[in-house]
A = this chain, B = another copy of it.
Amino acid sequence: MPHLGEDDLIARFFAPLAGEGGLGLKDDAALIAGEPGCDLVVTCDALVAGVHFFADDPADAIAAKALRVNLSDLAAKGARCKGFVLALALPPDLRTEAWLGAFARGLGDDIASYACPLLGGDTVSTPGPLTISVTAFGAVLAGRMVPRTGARPGDLIYVSGTIGDAALGLQLRLGKVIAGQGAEHLLARYLRPQPRNALAAALLDHASAAMDVSDGLAGDLAKMMRVSGASAEVEVASVPFSPAARACVAADRGALKCALTGGDDYEILATIPPQNASTFEARAADAGVAVTRIGHVVRGDETPVFRDASGAPLTFMRASFSHF
């Protein structure tokens, strides 16, 4: 295609996606109108090709993942999506009509699905891998954001959806596990996270702490307990697995640890005071999001314990995924 300057590229592919506060992407800045009685929740996640996704993943799936991992953080905080800005460092070989068109289409679909408009950003060239930083904004009632630090002994621990699918999907993608049936489900769960924004309002009203599970359930629970000054007991038999993940675990015991410590779930991990539990479950059901109680918060500063059906603790070589 003819050489597209940065302004042309923005006008052609991104301006059509801009919400009102994006000012048509014609200004240096975007505007988020004040909302009386609300705080703004801000989250930022960066993704690098070859590190967080495969460089040859479909462009629309890459766009969706970059946005959704941020939407997942907003969901965990009980926030309603307000919009996002996008910083795109683009290698020369992706500056094509086909790639940019598909990327913008993927972004546009999610902007519509999650009512989260594009507000602005920056597009630069890079000699390195595609690098995407999204900063997303959400609104919560003032002083009410669900913290990561609020878990208290006695609270019940819940997760949304199913755990481990994406980590097993990644192993499949790398050719490391043969899952038998259900491979498509696992691959899709790795490729396209499903953020649980429908659960945000129920979390806001009922959770003492919440975060999204992005670096593995075991590691993320450990982080939450550490910053909350508590510990936890989890019954592995209660952790929700998809049929495809169950098939993996049945075939290969190592798959269980992969599922519990692998990343990219983008499910919600929340602690719910016992008196809120039945209402939280009802609200989640109304929102169409499955939630499952997997354990409870206890006093102490030990790493959370995951027990099998016999009550024996599992040990993990590494509790969570780290990019370093």
Number of copies: 2
A300 CA to B89 CA in the complex, in Å? 35
Write out, one digit per residue, whether chain A residues 144-159 have a CB within 8 A of any chain B CB (1) or not (0): 0101110000000000
Interface residues of A in 65-98 (CB under 8 A from B): 73-74, 76-77, 79, 85-89, 95
Min CB gap A71→B, angstroms: 12
Residue of B43, B51, B87 near A124 (CB, 8 A) is: B51
A16 at the interface (CB under 8 A from B): no
A285 at the interface (CB under 8 A from B): no
- The verdict on A48 contacting B129 (CB below 8 Å), with A28-B77, A145-B31 known, is no
Are B34's CB and A37's CB within 8 A?
Answer: yes
- The verdict on A39 contacting B43 (CB below 8 Å), with A87-B87, A323-B125 known, is no
Interface of A is mostly: mixed
Residue of B6, B7, B35, B126 near A131 (CB, 8 A) is: B126
Complex interface: stretch among A114-122, A175-183, A185-193: A114-122
Residue of B3, B46, B79 near A324 (CB, 8 A) is: B3
Are A133's CB and B127's CB within 8 A?
Answer: no
Min CB gap A264→B, angstroms: 14
Residue of B31, B39, B123, B324 near A6 (CB, 8 A) is: B324
For A209, give the chain B residue with the smallest CB separation. B27
Are A41's CB and B26's CB within 8 A?
Answer: no
Residue of B31, B32, B42, B121 near A85 (CB, 8 A) is: B42
Interface magnitude class on chain A: 35 or more
Min CB gap A5→B, angstroms: 5
Write out, one digit per residue, whether chain A residues 248-289 have a CB within 8 A of any chain B CB (1) or not (0): 000000000000000000000000000000000000000000
Are B28's CB and A73's CB within 8 A?
Answer: yes
A305 at the interface (CB under 8 A from B): no
Are A124's CB and B48's CB within 8 A?
Answer: yes
Residue of B50, B73, B121, B125 near A29 (CB, 8 A) is: B73
A60 at the interface (CB under 8 A from B): no
A37 CA to B122 CA in the complex, in Å? 28
Are A133's CB and B48's CB within 8 A?
Answer: no
A160 at the interface (CB under 8 A from B): no
- The verdict on A126 contacting B51 (CB below 8 Å), with A76-B28, A89-B131, A133-B133 known, is yes
Residues of B close to A9: CB separation below 8 A: 324
A218 at the interface (CB under 8 A from B): no
Are B42's CB and A28's CB within 8 A?
Answer: no
A30 CA to B70 CA in the complex, in Å? 12
Min CB gap A301→B, angstroms: 15
Q: Which 6 A-B pairs have the closest CB atoms?
A: A128-B128, A87-B133, A133-B133, A46-B87, A135-B135, A32-B40
**16 sampled A-B residue pairs with Cβ under 8 A:** A6-B323, A28-B43, A29-B138, A32-B42, A34-B37, A42-B120, A44-B87, A46-B87, A46-B88, A46-B124, A50-B127, A51-B124, A122-B133, A128-B131, A131-B131, A133-B135
